[in-house]
Structure 1
Amino acid sequence: MRIKALVVGLFLAATTGSACAAGPYLGVSGGVSIFHDADLKVSGTSGTATTDYNSGYGFGANAGYNFDPVRLEFEFGYRKADVDHFSGPGGSLSVDDTNVKVMSYLVNGYYDIKTGTIFTPYVGAGLGVLDGELQVQGTKYDDTVFGYQVAVGTTIAVDQHIALDFSYKFQGAGSDFSKDGVSLSYLNSSFSGGFRYSF
């Protein structure tokens, strides 16, 4: 009987939970950031090297307005990963003290899919600018380019103001980061968790 009562209680909680209120909100998140293999080009040399990364990390903060079911927000993001090795026709070269950092400044739009429960899946996309920096053993190459991202995720309402947020975001640059004859392509996948507070 106790198990049955627990199951019934969980079901009722899932079906009667209230979604976060419409209006302004703030949020923070953090998680694993996976930099996809990137093309590295250096002027004066022939061919293209492939950059392989270790798994990295990222975090973000956002502020927006929930029009219910559409949300619009500004998001700042930070992603970093160490380079594991470069590879090309001549083989591969492992490196130390070499990493890539990307800071993003995006305007996002989301559509919340109402389920009548505490779970609210969503889809979205964003546009803005990306500040990228490649650091190779103390030498830095940085550039600012147009950026975009698409996202899917779900929120879990704790109450009318607080929700947990879990998401996958795919982010890319409209053109290579390029500085002083060095250019690097950029694609990233991030899996993150956080929370959102609605006022």
Structure 2
Amino acid sequence: MKRILSGVVAILLSGTAAFAADVYQPPIEPVPEQPVEVIQTSGWYLRGDVGYAWNNLRGANYYQGGPGGSITSFETADIDDSWVAGVGVGYQFNNYLRADITADYWGGADFTGSTLGNCGSVVGPCRSRDVTSVSAWSLMANAYVDIGTYGAFTPYVGAGIGATHVKWDKLRNTSCSIADPSQCDPTTGHDGESKWRFTYALMAGTAIDLTCNLKADVGYRFRQVDDGDMFGYANGGGPGSDEGFYIHEARAGLRYSFGSVCEVPYEPEPIVYK
């Protein structure tokens, strides 16, 4: 009997030990976070942009009739779309505020207009056809608010003020009879005018991280350029002036920053065993 009881106790003890081994779970140690190394330089950046411009001439006028004449609006006055390109230098103050100074060239936009009046040598009322082109340089001081960074994207809004040097080419004016368009006066040339004009701009877009220091910039810019002189006096007509421009631009460019704050995985120095 003692031998039987001893055997039963041994079997029970061995089963309990096996069950304890099955249910035991070792504690899970937390995985340490990957340390990062922060690299920071100055806040300056360079930028370059190109774009397409939808141009809207707000109107054009001219003086007609010599002494005692009057200022008259063009019957039609339109300019074509064109292109823009620019460079700039700026400073990133913090994660939300930056500013830059930019210089932009607005490529030549062709102008086509018409006027109603009398011809010189042709009998009857006439309609003129007026052609020229316009180009400009702009210098702008701009400020931007970076709304926040979402992955690789940083949307922003901005505004700028500055001046635009508008240059009109020579305007060529040909007046023809409305009743018989084949009967025309000789073409008259009016020297184009150039002048600096006040300009303001509104911008919106997004920056896209390409590397730590290099960003692509895709955005929209609206510019309003003030009115000014357009062409001079010739053959009893002129001078003329325009009422300014609305310019809508789709732009794309690159910004290289010397002041980005970059977080990169920290790699400790390798251990060398001797």
TM-score, scaled relative to structure 2: 0.59
Identify unmatched segments of 5+ residues in structure 1.
1-19
- Of stretches 141-150 and 182-191 in structure 1, the one that deviates more from structure 2 is 182-191
Pairs within 5 Å for 1:180-191 = 180=232, 181-184=239-242, 185-191=244-250
- If asked which structure has higher relative contact order (CA below 8 Å, sep 6+), I would say 1
Aligned twin of 1:52: 78
Instruction: After TM superposition, list the pairs within 5 Å mapping 1:55-134 onto structure 2.
Output: 55-67=81-93, 68-87=95-114, 93=129, 95=131, 98-134=132-168
Q: Does 1:177 align with 2:211?
A: no
Overall identity of the aligned pairs, in %: 28
CA drift at 1:36: 0.7
Q: Which amino acid aligns with 2:194?
A: D
Secondary structure of the 1:43 match is strand
1:40 correspondence with 2:60: yes
Question: What residue ranges of structure 2 are gaps of 5+ in the alignment?
Answer: 1-39, 65-69, 118-126, 172-188, 233-238, 259-274
Question: What is the CA–CA distance in structure 1 between the aligned matches of 2:198 and 2:219, rounded to whole Å?
Answer: 22
For residues 208 and 149 of structure 2, what CA distance do their matches in structure 1 show?
A: 11
Pairing partner for 2:253 from 175, 191, 194: 194
The total of aligned residue pairs comes to 177
TM-score normalised by the chain length of structure 1: 0.80
What SS does the corresponding residue of 1:36 show, helix, strand or coil?
A: strand
Report the Cα distance in structure 2 between the residues aligned to 1:92 and 1:168, rounded to whole angstroms. 37
Residues of 1 paired with 2:111 and 2:227: CA distance? 20
Secondary structure at the aligned position of 1:190 is classed as strand
Partner of 2:48: 28
Q: Quote how far apart the aligned CAs of 1:82 are.
A: 2.7
Q: Distance in 1 between matches of 2:205 and 2:104?
A: 17
**Which structure shows the bigger proportion of residues in strand conformation?**
1
SS of 1:115's partner is coil
How large is the RMSD of aligned CA atoms in angstroms?
2.3
Letter in 2 for 1:28: G
Q: Which has the larger radius of gyration?
A: 2
